């Protein structure tokens, strides 16, 4: 029997981990322990997402909570190390690029427990982003690197990762989307906001580079208000963004526009229901770039770079600056929407490939 620790932390991790949990649970020779670090833990939203993805409650929650990067990383590192002193698995699986990802990987390898990384090889080439540091270091620590795309493989090879450690498996977040798409389409969440399909845009913002900079945030708001003269905007506002809007007295700039609807963050199904029927998405999120590419929905990403360039070269994503929003939005709306692009291995079966790859490696001892 192989014992596995499967780590979740922030909400995007849950979507990435769910397909792997279900695929491993179908194998009789795996015992999977689901761990939550509590890095971004809202009981209501977290419990709702676990239920939507048919995941059990985590067996353990370290309840680390928010804090500076150093405090959060250190809190997860010490909490997981203490847990590992009591129970050592055959392998620790981490996902994505949050602080918990790096902290759990570091705690495991220090105790000679191999680490596998879901979503290996993504690179923005921007080391001012904490997530980029987490990605690079976690990939250097991992014994198994499960990548979503060919460009990610190339990144890993260029950093000296032995090819035998890398397995291209596809995109686990797309697995969760594919699995839940029928339920998502039944929600019709747009009805709650007096909207019509294909007649509104959805906005999400949360990255410090966008919401902590007074001038950049003002420029974004200016661009959104200009767009709202042409289309309804539905904006689920992240808690960090709410704080910035209030601190800078920008909140009324948005709330006073009759075509901008500010709402609280939504659950996974309701949010993707909004996205699936939108004309465009304006975001700084990484995962939304992938989901919109799968769905064939135009995505305007308010960032100078992306760790997911395949969403630009093969998907529906464009990188834009705030002052470009009105022009690029107009061009996007004027373009006839084509069938969703097909990105290799983004087919809903990444979790199954990961389970089989892990089975093969543990049975043979390859790269462990």
62-116 pLDDT, tens digit each: 988 888 899 999 999 999 999 999 999 999 999 999 999 999 999 999 999 999 9
Out of 22, 36, 69, 206, the active site residue is 206
Task: Assess whether pLDDT exceeds 80 at residue 41.
Answer: no
- Cα 275 to its chain centre, rounded Å, is 15
247: pLDDT strictly greater than 90: yes
Average pLDDT, the chain: 94
% of the chain with per-residue pLDDT over 90: 89
For residue 206, indicate whether it is catalytic.
yes
Over residues 132-143, mean pLDDT: 98
The Cα-based distances of 279 to 89, 296, 344 in angstroms read: 46, 10, 25
Query: pLDDT at residue 309 above 90?
Result: yes
| pLDDT for residue 368 | 67
What pLDDT is stored for residue 199 in this prediction? 94
How much is the average pLDDT of 274-296? 96
Strand, helix or coil for residue 333 = helix
Domain 185-334 has what CATH class?
alpha beta
Helix (H) or strand (E) holding 75: helix 69-86
Residue 348 pLDDT exceeds 60: yes
**Amino acid 367: pLDDT:** 54
CA distances from 256 to 47, 110, 177, 246, 260 (A): 34, 53, 34, 14, 8
Q: Which two tokens stand for residue 15?
A: 């979507």
**Residue 42, pLDDT score:** 65
- What's the confidence (pLDDT) of residue 47? 81
Domains 2-170+346-364 and 185-334 are alike in CATH topology: yes
Q: Residue written as tokens 């070269």? A: 313
The conformation of residue 55, written as its DSSP 8-state character, comes to P
Domain-by-domain residue ranges, the chain? 2-170+346-364, 185-334
pTM listed for this prediction: 0.95
Q: How confident is the model at residue 137 (pLDDT cuts 50, 70, 90)?
A: very high
CATH, range 2-170+346-364: 3.40.50.2000
Give bridge partners of residue 95 from the DSSP assignment.
Answer: 118
pLDDT at position 57, please?
93
Q: So what's the pLDDT on residue 366?
A: 67
């Amino acid at each position: 029997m192989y014992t596995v620790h499967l780590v979740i932390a922030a909400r995007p991790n849950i979507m990435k981990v769910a397909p792997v949990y279900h695929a491993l649970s179908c194998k009789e020779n795996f015992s999977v322990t689901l761990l939550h670090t509590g890095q971004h833990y809202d009981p209501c939203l977290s419990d709702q997402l676990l239920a939507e993805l048919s995941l059990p409650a985590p067996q353990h929650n370290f309840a680390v909570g928010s804090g500076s990067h150093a405090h959060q990383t250190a809190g997860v590192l010490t909490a997981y190390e203490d847990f590992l002193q009591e129970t050592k698995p055959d392998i620790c699986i981490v996902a994505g690029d949050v602080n918990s990802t790096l902290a759990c990987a570091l705690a495991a390898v220090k105790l000679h427990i191999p680490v596998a990384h879901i979503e290996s090889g993504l690179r923005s080439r921007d080391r001012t982003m904490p997530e980029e540091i987490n990605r690079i270091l976690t990939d250097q620590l991992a014994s198994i690197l499960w990548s979503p795309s060919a460009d990610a493989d190339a990144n890993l090879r260029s950093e000296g990762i032995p090819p035998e450690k890398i397995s291209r498996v596809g995109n686990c977040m797309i697995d969760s989307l594919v699995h839940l798409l029928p339920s998502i389409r039944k929600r019709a969440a747009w009805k709650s906001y007096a909207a019509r399909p294909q007649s509104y845009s959805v906005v999400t913002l949360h990255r410090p580079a966008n919401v902590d900079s007074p001038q950049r945030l003002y420029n974004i708001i200016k661009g959104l208000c200009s767009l709202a003269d042409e289309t309804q905007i539905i904006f689920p506002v992240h808690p960090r963004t709410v704080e910035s809007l209030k601190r800078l007295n920008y909140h009324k700039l948005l709330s006073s526009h009759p075509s901008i609807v500010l709402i609280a963050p939504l659950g996974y199904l309701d949010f993707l229901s909004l996205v699936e029927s939108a004309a465009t998405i304006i975001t700084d999120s990484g995962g939304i770039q992938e989901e919109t590419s799968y769905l064939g929905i135009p995505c305007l990403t308010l960032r100078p770079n992306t760790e997911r360039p395949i969403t630009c070269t093969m998907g529906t994503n464009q990188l834009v600056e705030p002052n470009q929003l009105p022009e690029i939005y107009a061009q996007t709306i004027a373009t006839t929407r084509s069938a969703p692009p097909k990105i290799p291995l983004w087919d809903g079966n990444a979790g199954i490939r990961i389970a089989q790859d892990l089975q093969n490696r543990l049975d043979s001892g390859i790269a462990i």
